[in-house]
Amino acid sequence: MATSSNPPASATFSARLAAAIKQRRTPACIGLDPRRESLPPALHAATASDPKALAAVFTRFCCDVIDVVAPLVPIVKPQLACFEAIGPDGMTALAEVIAHAHAKNLLVLADGKRGDIGSTAEAYADGWLAGPWAADALTVNPYLGLDSIEPFVKVATDRGAGIFILVKTSNPGSKDFQDLKTDGRTIYEHVAAGVEQLAARTAAGGTYGAVGAVVGATWPRQLDELRAAMPHTWILVPGFGKQGGRAADVRGAFDASGLGAIVVSARDVIFAHARPEMNAGLADDQWQTAVDRACRDMIERLAADTPAAQLK
């Protein structure tokens, strides 16, 4: 819940994120990735025979998850593709989920990996960060070059929002392009250097800027290296839990005070009813209790094995 220690709405994204992490005493971020085949049986997703019905189930599921995690974590990350896949009704569901998260005093990171040039990039930035979606942050694809990122940086800094640029992604195939070398450095190192310049430029006298990086939990050595290479950059760390990332693997993403990183878990938490150790003793309609258990377990593991312990 909001407290008097929260920064004003006009504060930078970095300030709002740091305050929320300190308030909840954890860098945990819960991904909202609704998938019909994985939803709790109690929601009867199998009977949702049309997009409107399925969108209603997605809305209920995500809002119920938000109700559980809102007192525990600072931020949630809706995966836009999961909503886009069911068409216009899915996008209406996404809008309702974002609004519900904001009503519960959560920051919202829209995971859409957007990227384009010129006026199209401006439209993406306006829509997601300043327009009807009003997300607090957005993931951005840098493949088109640094000039394609500038419209996102401008809107983010004008609105007090943030962006997270793909640097070293968690999937095994990231090495196909991101690990290629040119001028003695890997592609992801070149991207990281550009990201750090933008982060430092938008830091407004603080430690971290409005521009962050995405670095997967599945690459612990690279996390160590990239934390050193990007001292002004928040690092969004996906791949924790189901994709194989452990708390000890993400240690390098943090600074000594326990800030500088957001660690994401989606399926391990939101579908915790499918994990026997989290669902033990629960009936089908108690699936939210399994979510609560899994979220608390994630928070405890991060506190035990990373500098996030300094937030206590």
**Does the residue 84 lie in any domain?**
no
- Which pLDDT does position 3 carry in this prediction? 38
- Which pLDDT does position 244 carry in this prediction? 61
**Does the residue 123 lie in any domain?**
yes
- Above 50 in pLDDT, residue 1? no
Q: Average pLDDT of 174-190?
A: 96
pLDDT per position as a tens digit, 63-72 = 999 999 999 9
Q: Could you tell me the CATH number of the domain that includes residue 226?
A: 3.20.20.70
CA distances from 78 to 104, 110, 162 (A): 15, 6, 15
**Does the residue 119 lie in any domain?**
yes
Q: How far is CA 225 from the centre of its chain?
A: 21
- Which pLDDT does position 9 carry in this prediction? 57
Catalytic residue among 22, 52, 104, 113: 113
**Does the residue 83 lie in any domain?**
no
Output the furthest CA–CA distance in the chain (Å, rounded): 58
Query: What confidence category does residue 4 fall into, taking pLDDT thresholds of 50, 70 and 90?
Result: very low
pLDDT per position as a tens digit, 116-129 = 999 999 999 999 99
pLDDT per position as a tens digit, 257-300 = 999 999 999 999 999 999 999 999 999 999 999 999 999 999 99
Q: Please name which of 151, 109, 150 lies closest in space to residue 133, comparing C-alpha atoms.
A: 109
Q: Average pLDDT of 85-89?
A: 96
**Percent residues over pLDDT 70 in the chain:** 95
Q: Average pLDDT of 141-168?
A: 96
**Does the residue 161 lie in any domain?**
yes
Q: Please name which of 133, 87, 71 lies closest in space to residue 108, comparing C-alpha atoms.
A: 133
- Which pLDDT does position 246 carry in this prediction? 85
- Which pLDDT does position 239 carry in this prediction? 85
- Which pLDDT does position 240 carry in this prediction? 86
**Does the residue 41 lie in any domain?**
no
Overall number of domains in the chain? 1
* Sign for the pseudo-dihedral over CA of 301, 307, 308, 312: positive
- Above 60 in pLDDT, residue 241? yes
Contacts of 131 (CB under 8 A, 6+ apart): none
**Does the residue 103 lie in any domain?**
no
User: Exposed, middle or buried by CB within 10 Å (0-12, 13-18, 19+), for 67?
Assistant: middle
- Which pLDDT does position 2 carry in this prediction? 37
The SS3 call for residue 229 is helix
Give CA–CA dist 99/290, Å, rounded.
24
Model pTM above 0.85: yes
Q: Which residue blocks in the chain are alpha helix, DSSP H?
A: 13-24, 51-69, 80-84, 88-103, 118-125, 146-159, 175-178, 187-201, 220-229, 267-270, 276-279, 287-305
Phi and psi at 96, nearest 5°, equal -70, -35
Query: What confidence category does residue 179 fall into, taking pLDDT thresholds of 50, 70 and 90?
Result: very high
Contacts of 277 (CB under 8 A, 6+ apart): none
Q: Average pLDDT of 227-234?
A: 98
Is residue 154 among the annotated active site residues?
Answer: no
- Above 80 in pLDDT, residue 40? yes
- Which pLDDT does position 49 carry in this prediction? 78
Q: Residue-wise over 89-110: b if at least 16 C-beta within 10 A, else e? A: bbebbbebbbebbeebebbbbb
**Does the residue 74 lie in any domain?**
no
What range does the domain containing 142 cover? 13-28+115-306
